[in-house]
Amino acid sequence: MTEKFDLAISYVWEYDKEFADLTEKILQSYSLSTFIITDHNIYEVTELVKRRKLWFTSYLDRASDVDDDFTDLAKILTRRKCRIFNPYKNVEHAIDKATMHLEFITAGINVPYSIIIPPHKEHEELSLKVDDLAILGRPFIIKPCNTTGGGIGVVTGAESLKEVLIERRTNTYDKYLIQQKINPVELDGKRAWFRCFWAFGKPISVWWDDKTHIYEYLYSDQLDKYGLRKLNQITRTIARITELDFFSTEIVLTPDKKFVVIDYVNDQCDMRFQSAHKDGVPDIIVEQIIQRIRLTVQRIKKQKVSIKNDVQE
């Protein structure tokens, strides 16, 4: 006999507990079953799933990208057609900044002027010249293309070719973006820098200060007052390109009124509550995202039941 749950959530970061607990509470209030997987039960869960004693219709994986102990479970669930949020093959494509840079340009999305340089492992000698960097202006930004999350490996105030040469030896297998630094316009004293979430079919945009990392709720009337509706349009376009269920991106409104995507795709969104952490996401936004998860899980469950009934008939 297989024990089945509508949604499993895995995590290893201690600050994900609040998010997982609230997700369980909300989904269970709608009669949806949930299951939490952490480093305390991952081996047991993997074995039960292997033996078909345990099953999940949907899976929100916030662990396997940082902990290899969760990899076997991810592979089994993928092979057996569990609905994964986000599908792993789509994540691999979306987190490559060099690939996204080119695809965004093709889709008509504004991105900073950038130079893509190959991995040090493939090309030790770099043909990049000081004159090439002059086009970017100073300071400029150095980003590894496949190292993701929390600005890891990113240099935001680079001034010289020497810094580029040093940084590309840090991740020798990774491509790098050498990128123009973009400054936002100010709107009534606020930096026009936004964190835009794609939450299971819905764009949700929030003020986010790149210097303080503090969020503020973005009200509907502000979208109209400052002409910010395009934030949602750009986020929808990125969702179409990546085919991810849940991600965030950073978009800046420049003094010349251009919307420029800065941090392309973050597939693992920090869901700490602002009520508990100064630089956390506004609680109301976290709850909106969980409700989007709930609606998606309900829809998938309904589809499964419908298919099962059709087969029985």
Is residue 218 in some structural domain? yes
Res 148 pLDDT > 80: no
Mean pLDDT of the chain: 91
End residue of a domain, out of 180, 204, 226: 180
Greater model confidence, 176 or 42 = 42
Read off the pLDDT of each residue in 53-78 and give the average, rounded to a whole number: 97
**DSSP annotation string for 37-99:** E-TTTHHHHHHHHHTTSEEEEEEEEESTTT-GGGHHHHHHHHHTT-EEES-HHHHHHHT-HHH
Read off the pLDDT of each residue in 51-64 and give the average, rounded to a whole number: 97
- Confidence band, pLDDT 50/70/90 cuts, at residue 308: low
Per-residue confidence (pLDDT) for residue 311, from 0 to 100: 41
Res 119 pLDDT > 90: no
Model confidence, pTM: 0.90
* Rounded-to-integer distance, Cα 68 and Cα 25, Å: 28
Do residues 281 and 272 lie in contact, with contact meaning Cβ atoms separated by under 8 Å? yes
Is residue 104 in some structural domain? no
The least confident of 45-59, 88-102, 137-151 is: 137-151
pLDDT in tens, 232-264: 999 999 999 999 999 999 999 999 999 999 989
Is residue 106 in some structural domain? no
Per-residue confidence (pLDDT) for residue 166, from 0 to 100: 83
pLDDT in tens, 7-39: 999 999 999 999 999 999 999 999 999 999 999
Greater model confidence, 141 or 135 = 141
Whichever domain contains 219, its CATH number is 3.30.470.20
Res 150 pLDDT > 60: no
User: What domain count does the chain have?
Assistant: 3
* Rounded-to-integer distance, Cα 145 and Cα 119, Å: 10
Per-residue confidence (pLDDT) for residue 213, from 0 to 100: 94
Res 126 pLDDT > 50: yes
- Confidence band, pLDDT 50/70/90 cuts, at residue 55: very high
Same structural domain, 194 and 146 = no
Q: What percent of the chain has pLDDT over 90?
A: 73
Peptide bond before residue 86 is cis, with ω within 30 degrees of 0: yes
Whichever domain contains 36, its CATH number is 3.40.50
pLDDT in tens, 172-215: 888 888 888 899 999 989 999 999 999 999 999 999 999 999 99
Same structural domain, 9 and 61 = yes
Is residue 98 in some structural domain? no
Do residues 6 and 33 lie in contact, with contact meaning Cβ atoms separated by under 8 Å? yes
Per-residue confidence (pLDDT) for residue 306, from 0 to 100: 56
Whichever domain contains 168, its CATH number is 3.30.1490.20
Residue 54, both tokens: 């345990």
Per-residue confidence (pLDDT) for residue 157, from 0 to 100: 78
Same structural domain, 188 and 282 = yes
- Confidence band, pLDDT 50/70/90 cuts, at residue 313: very low
Residue 123 lies in domain? 113-180
Same structural domain, 173 and 188 = no
